[in-house]
Amino acid sequence: MIGWDEEWNLLIADSVEEALSIAHNSGPRQVGVWQGSRLLVYDVFIGNSGPWAQLTYTPDHWAIPAWHPREA
């Protein structure tokens, strides 16, 4: 199931395959997918051969994402 995560301020899917279901030709969509305790973030695109995803963030990434968890 795809849903909005208030803590991460990010759309979250159960799998990359599910994330691909929201690909749209109006532009890329950013979707998180949990892999164990790691959140991986993908940009999802639609191309000539169908939807595809590009990994844009892993926990060992150097940048702080705009959707990082809110401070308590």
What's the Rg (C-alpha) of the chain?
A: 12
The answer to whether residue 64 is domain-embedded is no
Mean pLDDT, each 10-residue run in order, the chain (72 residues): 88 95 90 90 91 81 55 54
Q: Is residue 71 part of a domain?
A: no
Has residue 53 been placed in a domain?
yes
- Full residue range of the structural domain in which residue 19 is found: 3-57
Report if residue 68 sits inside a domain: no
Q: How far apart are CA 60 and CA 38, in angstroms?
A: 10
Q: Is residue 42 part of a domain?
A: yes
Q: Which residues make Cβ contacts (< 8 Å) with residue 21, sequence separation at least 6?
A: 2, 13, 51
Q: In what order do the strands lie in the sheet with 10-13?
A: 3-5, 10-13, 29-35, 38-47, 50-57
Give the per-residue pLDDT at 38.
85
pLDDT at 19: 94
Residue 47 is predicted with a pLDDT of: 87
Give domain status of residue 20, yes or no.
yes
Mapped onto helix, strand or coil, the DSSP state of residue 37 is: coil
Q: Is residue 52 part of a domain?
A: yes
Is residue 70 assigned to a domain? no
C-alpha to C-alpha distance for 50 and 69, rounded to whole angstroms: 32
Q: Kindly report the pTM of this predicted structure.
A: 0.77
State the total domains in the chain: 1
